[in-house]
Structure 1
Amino acid sequence: MEQPTKQKSVHDADDDGRFSDLPDEIVHRILSFLRMRDLSRLSVVSRRRRELCISNPHLDLSNIDLINSDESSRSRFNSFVDRLISLRWMHRVKTQTFRLRWSFVGGDDEYRVATWLQHAVNMGVARINLELVLDLGKPFDLPHCVLGCNSLRQLKVDAGDGFVKLPSPYFAATNLQWLELRPVRIGCNVNIGELLSSFKSLKCLWLDKISGTKSMTFTSPSVVSLILSNYDDELCNISILQEKLQVLGISWSSKSGGKSLTISAPNLKRFYLGGSAVDYYNCMKDFPHLFNAEMGLLSFPTHQASSKHIFDKILHSIQRAKCLTINECFVEVLLEQGCLPFLFDNLEHLTVRRSSRGVQVLPLCSLLRGIIKLKHLTVSCLTRDFANVTNSMPSREFSFKMGYWESQDLMFTRQLKKVTMVLFDKEDEVELIKYLLKNAEELEVMEILYTSPVSSDLITEIRRYDQRG
């Protein structure tokens, strides 16, 4: 039987006026904003509206608003969904998008969801988005039919407090382009590298909260964007060997040591590294095309002689970046380890983010010494910490005033065009602002943000140094 159409007569009792005169695509778009309970009511209003509810190529199912309902209400709703999917199957309705937001409150929910997914696969689904509410630590076994679906282009699964379990690699879809799984547990019988290498068309891969494996190797020839996050101490080794990779994000939060990261991605353009610093870092090839790098490292080895060697390697791998975002605590560690100043001869945009008490003056100054072509500078706020000051005068007499900044002979001021500074403690930040206003001859914009009211006298003092007229 063919899928329902909107053919009707002017004398048809089901003619609903302007609503029925709209093209199916417009009506389906309108219906996508309705909750399932509202759709169930709409489907009994008229034959025409019933056909439209059945024929919508974008199927969005949710029982989230029924979590606190009684069992009878949930049962009636489940029966309606079963009937809707059966009618779609009967009329051979093609499914472009299947979105399921489902709370597992009944014993048969897992079987029911698997059945609905099978129907979507049989109807040539292109995009599947699952948002599941599971019990803490409960697995969701991704059905074999999903990864074996040749029509599937995009798959997103969020298992909430549970986790996604992958099937064996022999059912991998050959046309999948986007895969996003969170949290994901790799079974002992699943070779993640073998599974992913079977995705010949995969472009974007996002694996969140990975667990269940000690090592992962990514060698997919087609992936251009790879995002990985891990909060499990079991995972020790990550190897990324991908020629076409352009976007790489890794967040590795770990309490134990012995972590290693190997990267070979000669076409990388964007790189994020956050969480805990690794104990072994090997960049097998430079990133000559790197445009944007973000260093969000927050945790570092406390007693490790090779830390400087690791940090030097990280800096060399991002040396060609034009845009760099780095948090203040990593800058401090780089200075403590003797890694600064470091030559960033291609850097044009620098953002130093405050992650705790504020950006210390000495680490920031050491970072700026290695930058030549900087055009845009953003600093969240400055603070002074005399613990690292190596100066003959007592710390209470040490000053980061204008004379200090001018003595550093910073070369980046020659091309600087825009500065964004957040005032917090004011004194040291204002001194840097005055220095930049006086010495940055190409400066076009000085943006000052403040967390507390600023006196008119301070504003007047700052404006005295503005050389732009």
Structure 2
Amino acid sequence: MRMEPKSKLVATASFGEGRGGCIVNESKKDRLSNLPDEIVHHILSSSLKTPILDIEDLTMFSCVSKRCRQLVLSNPTLCFDGFQRTRISTCSKRSKLMNSFDRLLACRGDCKLQVFDVSWNSHYSWTTPCFCEDNKFRVFTWIYNVLVRYKVETLHVFIEHGLLDDDHILPAFPSYIFHCDSLRSLKVDVNCMIQAPSFAFSSNLRSLVLTSVTIVDEEFFKWISCCCKFIEDLCLDSVYGPNNVTIESSSLELFHFKCAANGRICHLHISGEKLKEIAVDWSFNPYRKISFGILAPNLKRYRWTGNLINHPNLGNLVSLEEAEIRLKPKLDGWDNVLEILCRLRGVKVFLLTEEVTKTSGFNMRHWKLQDPALFNQLKEFTIELWGEPNGIELARYILEHAQNLEKMVIVHLPQHSHVKRELSKSKTISNAKLFFSTYT
């Protein structure tokens, strides 16, 4: 069902104007009356990215009728988000909003709550972001209450500018959240420290997304490996962490990792027999000792962005189908590039940036000296060309020798129109469809 914009939704609810609140137009049947409860719940809910109604709107809607009030209170998705800046510009205005939300929680009774999304933007006291102790206490009290009382399955916590206290020290994220038996999905986007929960508690988490957090030590990753027996998705986005990140999971299917700028992480090792997708975005000081290892025999999709690592241990990628390589190798790093290409020889869909190929210095004659089976399984190939001849030579070689190639996409700069002319000559040898696209 298509979502109505906020102004249209208010109109369909037949809101009247007046100091007393909302007036129901009894002479006209509004469109919400004939809809099942679950459809109205969907309309009232947030998409968890772009909230449709904030607390004030929900309060107004609940005044339309008894059914509207019950629909608001029984909605299994509850979002504290989407406030205009003027409504949260001072601590006193924020307290009023929080009081309204306290009353909403108190009136819900035992109605089931599955999703709780709380988003809070710090306001500024002069030039310093302010997240008052009272606000901080109340937000985490809500979280504790909904976890204990309603057994929430999905929890998203976003706090802009973080939780810095008066001494500008990052506080610890409450560990009781990780101990909740009902929780299946947890997203945390808060500038805070995360310590390893107690190993005495197992977790039922299926999905864990941590953004802009500081992980104190390696024990947290040991906790994931030992206590999260059902976890399927793990995303570490712009995280600060210890030197070593090692995760071994028998249930993990998707792993995304992005190291924070100037992060301390030097060693990343991930293993799991059910892993199907891995995405790594890792830029680091090239003079540091770095190690990277993957043990994922059933991996299907692999995306690698950042610095090239010398002799990465990629394991046996016999099931790999799609690969995207956006690395920045050193000028003398072709041997490592070729080693990676050999590991990816069975891939069917491949994207490669010219930053990878320009280190080779290879022309067509050199490419022909490589293993002829290197690109035999390739069906779709995309390469980004910035005018360097090395990338053009590789594209020509693949176009002429990849026996199963069905499609090739060439992305180039507008001023490099010669790329199309040069590769069109090789097109006469191949049965693959050739597409050209320019950077915008």
Smaller-chain TM-score bracket: 0.7 to 0.9
1:64–1:329 CA distance, 2 compared to 1 (3 A): same
Partner residue of 1:94?
Answer: 112
* Residue 210 of structure 1 pairs with residue 239 of structure 2: yes
Equivalent positions of 1:395-434 (< 5 A) are 424-433=415-424
CA shift at 1:193, angstroms? 2.5
Distance 1:55 1:15 in 2: 24
Equivalent positions of 1:245-256 (< 5 A) are 245-256=275-286
Equivalent positions of 1:269-284 (< 5 A) are 269-283=300-314
Is the CA contact 1:359–1:380 (under 8 Å) kept in the aligned structure 2?
Answer: no
Distance 1:351 1:268 in 2: 20
Stretch of structure 1 that moved more, 14-23 or 363-372: 14-23
CA shift at 1:295, angstroms? 0.4
Partner residue of 1:41?
Answer: 60
Q: What SS is found at the alignment partner of 1:115?
A: helix
Distance 2:92 2:381 in 1: 59
Equivalent positions of 1:252-263 (< 5 A) are 252-256=282-286, 257-263=288-294
Partner residue of 1:268?
Answer: 299
Aligned with 2:409 (options 370, 375, 378):
378
Q: What SS is found at the alignment partner of 2:352?
A: strand
1:136–1:48 CA distance, 2 compared to 1 (3 A): closer
Q: Deviations over 1:263-299 (max 9, x none)?
A: 111111111111111134112x31111100110112x
Greater C-alpha Rg: 1
Partner residue of 1:72?
Answer: 92
Distance 1:86 1:152 in 2: 21
Equivalent positions of 1:286-365 (< 5 A) are 286-298=316-328, 300-301=329-330, 307-335=333-361, 341=370, 343-354=374-385, 358-365=386-393
1:313–1:92 CA distance, 2 compared to 1 (3 A): same
Q: What SS is found at the alignment partner of 2:73?
A: helix
Stretch of structure 1 that moved more, 177-186 or 163-172: 163-172
| Number of corresponding residues | 385
Q: Provide the alpha-carbon RMSD of the alignment.
A: 3.0
Q: What SS is found at the alignment partner of 1:30?
A: helix
Q: What SS is found at the alignment partner of 1:281?
A: coil
Q: Which amino acid is 1:313 matched to? A: E
Partner residue of 1:439?
Answer: 429
1:278–1:339 CA distance, 2 compared to 1 (3 A): farther
Distance 1:14 1:438 in 2: 72
Distance 2:34 2:325 in 1: 55
Is the CA contact 1:274–1:297 (under 8 Å) kept in the aligned structure 2?
Answer: yes
1:364–1:30 CA distance, 2 compared to 1 (3 A): same
Partner residue of 1:150?
Answer: 181
Distance 2:377 2:139 in 1: 52
TM-score of the aligned structures, taking structure 2 as reference length: 0.79
Is the CA contact 1:98–1:129 (under 8 Å) kept in the aligned structure 2?
Answer: yes
Distance 1:438 1:344 in 2: 19
CA shift at 1:335, angstroms? 3.9
1:330–1:344 CA distance, 2 compared to 1 (3 A): same
Aligned with 2:44 (options 31, 49, 65):
31
Q: What SS is found at the alignment partner of 1:114?
A: helix
CA shift at 1:15, angstroms? 10
Q: Deviations over 1:243-267 (max 9, x none)?
A: 1111111111112421110111111
Is the CA contact 1:215–1:237 (under 8 Å) kept in the aligned structure 2?
Answer: yes
Q: What SS is found at the alignment partner of 1:202?
A: coil
Partner residue of 1:461?
Answer: none
Partner residue of 2:230?
Answer: 201
Q: Deviations over 1:72-109 (max 9, x none)?
A: 32221110111111222xx1121111111212433222
Is the CA contact 1:147–1:173 (under 8 Å) kept in the aligned structure 2?
Answer: no
Distance 2:208 2:394 in 1: 41
Q: Which amino acid is 1:130 matched to? A: V
Distance 2:245 2:197 in 1: 16
Q: Deviations over 1:141-188 (max 9, x none)?
A: 4322321122211111222xx245244243765321111111231113
1:319–1:211 CA distance, 2 compared to 1 (3 A): same
Q: What SS is found at the alignment partner of 1:170?
A: coil
* Residue 124 of structure 1 pairs with residue 155 of structure 2: no
Aligned with 1:51 (options 55, 70, 75):
70
1:292–1:339 CA distance, 2 compared to 1 (3 A): farther
Q: Deviations over 1:373-405 (max 9, x none)?
A: 2221111127xxxxxxxxxxxxxxxxxxxxxxx
Distance 2:283 2:142 in 1: 36
Distance 1:45 1:261 in 2: 59
CA shift at 1:448, angstroms? 4.5
Distance 2:280 2:419 in 1: 34
CA shift at 1:368, angstroms? 4.4
Q: What SS is found at the alignment partner of 1:286?
A: coil
Q: Deviations over 1:11-64 (max 9, x none)?
A: xx9997544453221222222232222112223444433222211111011164
Aligned with 2:265 (options 235, 240, 245):
235
Distance 1:451 1:336 in 2: 25
Q: Which amino acid is 2:303 matched to? A: Y
CA shift at 1:65, angstroms? 1.9
CA shift at 1:207, angstroms? 0.5
Distance 2:409 2:251 in 1: 36
Is the CA contact 2:409–2:434 (under 8 Å) kept in the aligned structure 1?
Answer: no
1:233–1:368 CA distance, 2 compared to 1 (3 A): farther
Distance 1:315 1:346 in 2: 13
TM-score of the aligned structures, taking structure 1 as reference length: 0.74
Q: Which amino acid is 1:95 matched to? A: L
Equivalent positions of 1:164-175 (< 5 A) are 165-170=194-199, 174-175=203-204
